[in-house]
């Protein structure tokens, strides 16, 4: 430790030393290569995750939309919804009624036959408790 006469205990150089103070430490080479490899791995992982999320979206040929729902009754919920699908294919939709805690209190699967492209339906769901909302969970072609 180097000290000056004027200030006892005061350091003149870096506290942890300089690279010359550690001759047995190997030189750092190839840091760029390591960073490029990590960047490529991150890009591959991000691309793979993007593909998984895109593929999990399912068949987007069925478009559903809730028009209205009525949850006034304590033992049922009524939902009016529209489905737009290819006219030559049938579809299956699952309807859900939820309570104030977002727990499912009722559900129903509805088959929509082939023949019409645009269908508007009103369905009644039996519920086990007072529902606060109703929605279409999913619709897909069968």
pLDDT in tens, 57-90: 655 688 889 999 999 988 999 999 999 998 888 9
Residues with Cβ within 8 Å of residue 86, at least 6 apart in sequence: 61, 117, 141
pTM of the predicted model as reported, rounded to 2 decimal places: 0.57
Residue finishing a domain among 12, 33, 57: 57
Please state whether beta strands 91-98 and 133-141 pair in parallel, antiparallel, or not at all (unpaired).
antiparallel
Q: Does 14 share its domain with 34?
A: yes
Number of domains into which the chain is organized: 2
Which residues constitute the domain of residue 70?
Answer: 63-141
User: Looking at 47-56, 99-108, 113-122, 130-139, which range is the least confident one?
Assistant: 47-56
pLDDT in tens, 133-142: 999 999 988 8
Angle at 80 between CA 76 and CA 83, to 5 degrees: 130
Query: What's the CATH number where 115 sits?
Result: 2.60.40
Contact 113, 121 (CB under 8 A): no
Residue finishing a domain among 31, 57, 83: 57
Q: Does 23 share its domain with 69?
A: no
Q: Does 42 share its domain with 90?
A: no
Residue finishing a domain among 40, 57, 74: 57
pLDDT in tens, 3-37: 555 556 676 767 777 777 777 766 666 778 888 99
Q: Does 72 share its domain with 126?
A: yes
Candidates 105, 110, 104, 137; CA nearest to 123 is: 110
């Amino acid at each position: 430790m180097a000290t000056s006469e004027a200030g006892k205990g005061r350091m003149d150089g870096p506290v942890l030393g300089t690279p010359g103070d550690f001759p047995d430490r190997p030189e750092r080479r190839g840091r760029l290569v390591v960073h490029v490899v990590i960047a490529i791995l991150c890009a591959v992982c991000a691309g793979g995750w993007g593909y998984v999320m895109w593929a999990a979206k399912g068949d987007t040929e069925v478009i559903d939309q809730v028009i209205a729902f009525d949850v006034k009754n304590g033992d049922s919920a009524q939902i009016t919804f529209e489905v737009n699908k290819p006219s030559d294919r049938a579809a299956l939709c699952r309807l859900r009624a939820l309570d104030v805690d977002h727990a499912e209190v009722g559900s129903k699967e509805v088959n929509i036959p082939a023949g019409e492209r645009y269908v508007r339906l009103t369905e009644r769901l039996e519920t086990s408790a007072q529902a606060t909302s109703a929605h279409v969970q999913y619709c897909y072609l069968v």
